[in-house]
Amino acid sequence: MVDAAPHRVAILVYDGVTLLDVAGPAEVFKEANRFGAGYRIVLLSPTGADVTSSLGVRIAVDGAVSSEPASDTLLVAGSDLYPRAPVPGELADAARTPAAVAGRVASICTGAFVLAAAGLLDGRRATTHWKVAHELAVRCPTCRVEPDAIYVRDGAVYTSAGVTAGIDLALALVEEDHGPDLAREVARALVVYMQRAGGQSQFSAPLQGPPPRSSALRRITDVVTANPGGNHSLGELAKHLNVSTRHLTRLFRDELSTTPARYVENIRFDMARALLDQGHTATQAATLAGFPSYESLRRVFARKLSISPAAYQRRFGTARRANAG
């Protein structure tokens, strides 16, 4: 039975907004209504004027932020614009004003930059898309950014990772309001996970760091990258430069902020992930990438991605393999 007083969900939109950041969560709340929830979804812009999404699709809004009653839930959608440029003052104000009276506030993907500009992430934990998590930490130095999280709750403020993670967050909000059974029905109807295993790292690109400044360390990293499966013990790597193991360890720490062993592991992990993407079994990937055993590869995957190599491969295998037969 639908509550007499609907739960008001306001989504803040603006020119350049990512359409999926708006449509994904809205569909979750709309679908929840089919199973007995009572959400009223409204789209608001800073001025009340319609906006144009990043795809060029025009979005009709229900009104201006200033002219609407308080929302139970305020969602701030993201955009590719504001990790690259400062958030305009009027947009930050458009988030700050309703947030002061909303029951809870949430951002989708890079909408976190709008919340940060509005001062709503100061001293809080938060997340955003893995590609721009570092930039968010720079913009909001008092915020503890968690780049691997799918979504983060800190009090009444929620933040989520890239685009489709807005669906994960909306499902979590529905579960908070109506319990797991109704949220599970919504997830089934939309054919999505109710709760994804692992964090954002499973979706991120392979590790790509700047090359070492010194030519000596570049020679070592080139050796490892060219043959990840080779013998790259600390002693063997030091022999390539005719330096002590202690000196080599210091070079890695000073220039790459890691150890030789962890650098080798990261390169092997990237290679194993690429091999899994290409269709090799987890055991084959472990061997070809230079891991001593499948178990050692599994432990690295668990530590870095919180899922097993097999689970990773099921998720990211090509459509060709999925439809083979």
Is the residue at 201 inside a domain?
A: no
Distance, in Å, from the CA atom of 281 to the CA atom of 195, rounded to the nearest integer, reads 26
Domain count, the chain: 2
165 and 100 in a common domain:
yes
133 CB burial (10 A radius; 0-12, 13-18, 19+): buried
Is the residue at 206 inside a domain?
A: no
Nearest to 49 by CA among 66, 30, 72, 29: 66
Distance, in Å, from the CA atom of 243 to the CA atom of 275, rounded to the nearest integer, reads 33
152 and 16 in a common domain:
yes
Q: Sorting pLDDT into bands at 50, 70 and 90, what band is 194?
A: low
Q: How confident is the model at residue 304, as a pLDDT?
A: 85
178 and 250 in a common domain:
no
Q: Considering 51, 109, 140, 171, which one is annotated as catalytic?
A: 109
Higher pLDDT, 278 or 154: 154
Read off the pTM. 0.68
Average pLDDT over residues 187-205: 66
143 is catalytic: no
144 and 13 in a common domain:
yes
Average pLDDT over residues 88-94: 97
Give the tens place of pLDDT for each residue, 57-78.
999 999 999 888 999 999 999 9
- Confidence check: pLDDT of 278 > 60: yes
Which CATH number goes with the domain that contains 18?
3.40.50.880
Is the residue at 91 inside a domain?
A: yes
Is the residue at 198 inside a domain?
A: no
Token reading at 242: 């005719």
Residue 306 Cα distances to 29, 295, 300, 301, 315, angstroms = 29, 14, 9, 6, 13
169 and 106 in a common domain:
yes
Is the residue at 199 inside a domain?
A: no
Residues of the chain with pLDDT > 90, as a percent, come to 55
Is the residue at 277 inside a domain?
A: yes
222 and 174 in a common domain:
no
Tell me which amino acid residue 111 is: G
288 and 232 in a common domain:
yes
Token reading at 96: 């700050």
Is the residue at 306 inside a domain?
A: yes
59-68, 119-128, 226-235: segment of lowest average pLDDT? 226-235
183 and 224 in a common domain:
no
Average pLDDT over residues 291-318: 85
Q: If you compute the radius of gyration of the chain from its CA atoms, what whole number of angstroms results?
A: 23
Is the residue at 42 inside a domain?
A: yes
Q: How confident is the model at residue 320, as a pLDDT?
A: 37
The residue range of the domain holding 222 is: 215-316
